Structure formats: structure tokens, C-alpha cells
Amino acid sequence: MIETLIIVIVISLQTFFGYIESKLLGAILPIAVIVADIYFLANGLLSLSFRDIAMPIIGLLTLISLWEGGRQSKLSKQKREMQKMKAQDSKRQD
């Protein structure tokens, strides 16, 4: 249950950081993943197996794509709003 809540919070935060287009905040979680992976490798908690190398990379790419998804969502919303404003302006001119 707690794991699910943590996953939902991470997804929400990373998407929100992308939505507000904050590169600094969006980099916090990926950097934390990298630091944690290095720590686990240094302390022998992870081995150099395919799984132990691939999963952190997949997690890192997922966090980056969540950030980019939030950014694209905002850009799409801004584009729709701009089209609505242009449509209203063209109706007023007619």
C-alpha cells in the first residue's frame, strides 16, 4: 500500500514539475535515483547483473519522460488557448 502511494506521489510530482517547466525541480528525482544507485553499488547491495543495471536506467528514463509529458501537456494547453483567442479575434473582426 505504501509503495503504491509513493509511486503515485513520484509520478504526480515529476509530471507537475514538467508542467511548471522547472528543470531544477525536475532534475531532483532523477539525480536522487542516480545517487541511490551509486550508493547501492558501492555498498554491494546491487550487483553488476543485467537486471540491476537495466532497472535503474529504465526508472531514470521513466522519470525524464514523465517530466517531458507534463511539459508537453502545458504546451498543448497553451496552444489550444491561443487558437481559441485567435478564433475569437477573427470573429470580432468579421
Please report whether residue 33 resides in a domain: yes
Q: What is the pLDDT along the chain (94 residues), one digit of tens a residue?
A: 888 998 899 999 999 999 998 888 889 999 998 999 889 989 988 888 898 889 889 999 999 999 999 999 999 999 999 999 888 888 777 6
Q: How far apart are CA 38 and CA 58, in angstroms?
A: 15
Please report whether residue 45 resides in a domain: yes
Q: Is the dihedral of CA 12, 13, 17, 18 positive or negative?
A: negative
Q: How far apart are CA 28 and CA 18, in angstroms?
A: 12
Q: How far apart are CA 35 and CA 3, in angstroms?
A: 20
pLDDT of the residue at 49: 86
Q: How many domains does the chain have?
A: 1
pLDDT of the residue at 94: 61
pTM (two decimals): 0.76
Please report whether residue 64 resides in a domain: yes
Please report whether residue 13 resides in a domain: no
Please report whether residue 7 resides in a domain: no
pLDDT of the residue at 39: 92
Domain range enclosing 87? 23-91
Q: How far apart are CA 61 and CA 55, in angstroms?
A: 10
